């Protein structure tokens, strides 16, 4: 499986944000409240098979029906990137795959193994404590807006990729963008093992040359209709008069037209009960005095756990946030094996996370977040300190 280095598409663009300017302080035109991450596992079923059978590493592997010397009737579920080099693709008749690469390893699907691997990936993602929406067996969105900086989101994405690789032996591709649909397009942009970050200024530059088919939801039929109107790229679509699109596709064309311009208001739907409760404090003066930092942390913990309205809440995930001088932000999370509402549990785990995360630099902000709550039907609460 080939590996591509992370690319940040804002690097060549001169008005790119300086790293140390929070989103809220930027020009109104450039402000975006959203940083959305989309993660999609690479050749998921095939990768799970290759991970547990090291002899298959680097080989063309096809998951699907029995090819029976090219006479099998089923289809390909997925295949390794090595098999894709022979032209094999998901949903292709297995007989055709056999013709394209008879020496590939053809394996029947083992769904329980894929479900288990999926749960392990999602558990890693959830452990970071951000609003999360799983959208298929191998993909999920995280809303990283609270990180405030695309550079922080990119660092977190790097960490997620490393943790998934080290713990599960699997690779994934990640896209980060100011809008959900663009993040999905970005995760697919450099598969496998890709990391693509699209920041607001070069967003249109990134979208313009992409084929319209890249837009989630644009299938063969819509693509053909767009072609008939002379629209081949997202840029063509963005420049098209919206009324003519509505005439052809109905009201849904408005969202499509906006998406082509990088506008997508849909967020990440975290279906898991209360999303999070967090408290954070910015020091008047940046400090490396560990006693001051830890006692501040303790008071934040007391205020998180001491609110009677929250007493019945039991959570599983604790996230420590440290922002250093220069706005470099680190989040470190851990999930408990069981739900708990106990303040001493939070304190002990928060101290452990601090010992692991703190690198001795001057700290600008410290914060704590509890997430993965047991209680249902409550909403996200970031409470003032």
- Catalytic residue list: 139
Closest by CA position to 215, among listed 250, 254, 174, 259: 259
Among 29-37, 138-146, 256-264, 285-293, which window interacts with Mg ion (CB under 5 A)? 138-146
Window of 39-47, 150-158, 219-227, 306-314 that interacts with ligand TTP by CB under 6 A: 39-47
The yes or no reply on residue 138 touching ligand TTP (CB under 6 A) is: yes
Of 17, 34, 49, 78, which lies in the binding site for ligand TTP, with binding defined by CB under 6 A? 78
By the rule CB under 6 A, 44 interacts with ligand TTP: yes
Neighbours of 89 (CB within 10 A): 14
Rounded to an integer, what is the distance from CA 305 to the centroid of its chain?
A: 29
Burial classification of residue 262, based on how many CB atoms lie within 10 Å of its CB (0-12 exposed, 13-18 middle, 19 or more buried): buried
- 295, 315, 43, 311: which is closest to 192 by C-alpha? 43
Could you tell me the smallest distance in angstroms from the CB atom of residue 22 to ligand TTP? 33
List the one residue from 38, 161, 191, 347 that touches ligand TTP (CB under 6 A).
Answer: 191
H helical segments located in the chain: 44-52, 81-84, 94-100, 111-126, 150-168, 180-189, 203-207, 220-228, 234-239, 242-249, 252-260, 290-305, 343-357
The encoded tokens of residue 260 equal: 């082509």
When the beta carbons of 190 and 307 are compared against ligand TTP, the nearer one is 190
CA-wise closest residue to 198 among 216, 184, 209, 212:
184
Q: Does 42 bind ligand TTP (CB under 6 A)?
A: yes
Name which of ligand TTP, Mg ion, none residue 379 binds, using a CB cut-off of 5 to 8 Å depending on partner kind: none
Residue 138 found at the interface with Mg ion (CB under 5 A):
yes
With CB under 6 A as the rule, give the number of residues binding ligand TTP: 14
* Residue labelled with tokens 């609003």: 131
Smaller CB separation from ligand TTP, 111 or 227: 111
Other CB atoms within 10 A of residue 52 CB: 12
* Shortest distance in whole angstroms from residue 39 CB to Mg ion: 9
Q: How far is the CB of 121 from ligand TTP (least distance, A)?
A: 11
Q: Does residue 354 bind ligand TTP (CB under 6 A)? A: no
Contact range with ligand TTP by CB under 6 A, out of 6-14, 35-43, 66-74, 353-361:
35-43
Binding site for ligand TTP (CB under 6 A): 40-45, 77-78, 90-91, 137-138, 191-192
């Amino acid at each position: 499986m080939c590996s591509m280095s992370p690319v940040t598409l804002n690097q060549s663009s001169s008005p790119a944000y300086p790293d140390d300017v929070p989103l809220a302080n930027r020009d109104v035109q450039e402000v975006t409240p959203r940083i959305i991450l989309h993660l999609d596992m690479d050749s998921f079923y095939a990768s799970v098979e290759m991970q547990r059978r090291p002899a298959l590493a680097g080989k063309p592997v096809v998951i699907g029906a029995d090819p029976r010397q090219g006479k099998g009737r089923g289809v390909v579920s997925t295949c390794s990137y090595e098999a894709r080099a022979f032209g094999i693709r998901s949903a292709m008749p297995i007989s055709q795959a056999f013709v394209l690469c008879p020496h590939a390893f053809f394996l029947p699907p083992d769904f329980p193994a894929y479900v288990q691997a999926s749960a392990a990936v999602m558990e890693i993602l959830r452990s970071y404590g951000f609003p999360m929406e799983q959208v298929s067996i191998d993909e999920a969105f995280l809303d990283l807006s609270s990180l405030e900086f695309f550079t922080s989101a990119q660092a977190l994405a790097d960490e997620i990729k490393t943790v998934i690789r080290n713990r599960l032996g699997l690779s994934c591709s990640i896209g980060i963008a100011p809008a959900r649909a663009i993040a999905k397009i970005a995760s697919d942009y450099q598969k496998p093992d890709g990391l693509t970050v699209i920041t607001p200024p070069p967003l249109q530059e990134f979208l313009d040359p992409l084929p319209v088919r890249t837009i989630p939801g644009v299938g063969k039929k819509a693509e053909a209709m767009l072609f008939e109107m002379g629209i081949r790229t997202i840029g063509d679509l963005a420049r098209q008069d919206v009324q003519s699109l509505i005439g052809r596709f109905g009201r849904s064309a408005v969202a499509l037209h906006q998406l082509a311009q990088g506008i997508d208001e849909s967020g990440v739907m975290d279906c898991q009960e209360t999303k999070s409760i967090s408290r954070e404090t910015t020091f008047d003066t940046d400090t490396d005095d560990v006693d001051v930092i830890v006692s501040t942390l303790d008071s934040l913990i007391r205020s998180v756990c001491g609110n009677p309205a929250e007493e019945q809440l039991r959570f599983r995930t604790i996230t420590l946030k440290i922002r250093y001088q220069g706005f470099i932000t680190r989040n470190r999370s851990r999930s408990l094996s069981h739900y708990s509402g106990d303040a001493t549990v939070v304190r002990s785990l928060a101290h452990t996370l601090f010992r692991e995360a703190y690198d001795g630099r001057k700290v600008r902000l410290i914060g704590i977040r509890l997430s993965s709550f047991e209680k249902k039907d409550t909403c996200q609460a970031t409470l003032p300190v």
